[in-house]
């Protein structure tokens, strides 16, 4: 990890807490709208970042696009913009609202969400973060709406274990404002390290990518590329969409990010593709279309140039795992 990104992440202002744990048995399925809880958890907040640590078992999670991202014990699921999501296990369970499984906050003791058909057990520790940083701005979409990270052995994995132990001990949640600092610092440490791992291969990280999200000229262009990587973008088309000249936009990308807009777009597409290959069952052809390629062959060539292996071989090698 380069120093610029490490420094930027260390200076992120995050407010967080562990707020409940789930004891689920197959088959299970529930849906949640985190923003409905935002004001109750963080008064005045209009956004929340959710994370789920899989303590044991496995599950899948999907946002509105319906794509299921799988997670196993030790994985951390992040929903950076608090999008509505569905979580489930093996088999087809009856989908219910999370609001029917939990009392509304604030909670005097850490609640336990219990749900399922009595089969194989999955335990999950759930938490939230609040931040006004552009990295978590839903308008920018600098991160996928949901992603899964497996942290390598080291301090970060230790913080995940500590979070699990803390939650499983039934500790008093921060929502009653009397909990100790551990409950608030653990989520911040976990999510900071998850971001560090996830962003390690993001495009132009070495050139101050996070700073670019704050750049008044670049931010609108980045927001469009992040939201619509599948479009057939040209520099002229992107410049017109953000009311800049072609040359001014190209110059700004090169000054701040060290590369042209189209080179950035290609790298961003590959970054998204690696996440989809690692945590979903989507075919290579489907992933190619989702990230802006008309054919599997063109996508495979571009992916191999970036990653050194074809999508099929990269997936087979289990490249998500450290």
Q: How many of the other CB atoms lie within 10 Å of CB of 5?
A: 19
pLDDT tens string 167-210: 777 654 544 444 455 566 777 778 888 888 887 766 655 556 77
Residue-range domains of the chain with CATH = 3-199 (2.60.120.10), 205-316 (1.10.10.60)
Confirm if 49 and 78 have CB atoms less than 8 A apart.
yes
pLDDT tens string 285-309: 999 999 999 999 999 999 999 889 9
- For the segment 228-251, the average pLDDT, to the nearest whole number, is 96
DSSP state letter for 67: P
Residue 4 makes CB contacts below 8 A (sequence gap 6+) with 205, 206, 207, 208
Containing H/E element for 305?
helix 296-307
> What pLDDT does residue 281 have?
92
- For the segment 101-105, the average pLDDT, to the nearest whole number, is 78
Angle at 287 between CA 286 and CA 290, to 5 degrees: 90
> What pLDDT does residue 4 have?
47
Measured CA to CA, the distance from residue 249 to residue 224 in angstroms comes to: 13
Q: How confident is the model at residue 231 (pLDDT cuts 50, 70, 90)?
A: very high
DSSP state letter for 60: E
**Whole-model pTM?**
0.80
Measured CA to CA, the distance from residue 86 to residue 63 in angstroms comes to: 6
> What pLDDT does residue 9 have?
64
Measured CA to CA, the distance from residue 197 to residue 255 in angstroms comes to: 26
- For the segment 82-111, the average pLDDT, to the nearest whole number, is 85
Better-predicted residue by pLDDT, 47 or 1 = 47
Residue 191 makes CB contacts below 8 A (sequence gap 6+) with 14, 16, 49, 51, 76, 78, 129
Helices (H), 169-260: 181-198, 209-213, 218-227, 235-241, 246-257
Q: How many of the other CB atoms lie within 10 Å of CB of 206?
A: 12
């Amino acid at each position: 990890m380069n120093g610029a990104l490490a420094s930027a992440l260390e200076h992120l202002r995050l407010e967080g807490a562990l707020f409940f744990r789930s004891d689920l048995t197959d088959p299970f399925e529930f849906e949640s709208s985190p923003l409905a809880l935002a004001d109750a958890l963080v008064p005045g907040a209009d956004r929340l970042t959710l994370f789920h640590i899989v303590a044991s078992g496995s599950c899948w999670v999907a946002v509105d696009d319906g794509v299921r991202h799988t997670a196993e014990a030790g994985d951390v699921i992040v929903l950076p913009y608090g999008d509505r999501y569905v979580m489930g296990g093996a088999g087809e369970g009856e989908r219910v609202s999370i609001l029917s499984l939990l009392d509304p906050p604030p909670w005097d003791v850490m609640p336990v969400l219990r749900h399922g058909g009595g089969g194989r057990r999955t335990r999950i520790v759930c938490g939230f973060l609040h931040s006004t940083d552009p990295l978590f701005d839903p308008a920018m979409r600098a991160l996928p709406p949901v992603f899964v990270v497996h942290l390598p052995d080291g301090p970060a994995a230790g913080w995940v274990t500590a979070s699990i132990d803390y939650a499983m001990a039934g500790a008093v949640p921060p929502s009653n404002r009397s909990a100790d600092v551990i409950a608030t610092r653990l989520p911040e440490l976990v999510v900071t390290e998850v971001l560090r791992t996830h962003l390690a291969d993001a495009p132009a990280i070495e050139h101050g990518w996070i700073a670019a999200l704050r750049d008044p000229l670049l931010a609108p262009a980045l927001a469009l590329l992040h939201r619509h990587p599948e479009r057939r973008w040209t520099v002229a088309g992107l410049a017109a969409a953000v009311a800049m000249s072609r040359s001014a936009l190209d110059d700004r990308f090169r000054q701040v990010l060290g590369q042209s807009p189209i080179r950035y777009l290609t790298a961003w597409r590959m970054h998204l593709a690696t996440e989809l290959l690692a945590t979903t069952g989507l075919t290579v052809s489907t992933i190619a279309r989702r990230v802006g390629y008309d054919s599997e062959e063109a996508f495979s060539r571009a992916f191999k140039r970036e990653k050194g292996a074809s999508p099929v071989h990269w997936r087979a090698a289990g490249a998500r795992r450290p």
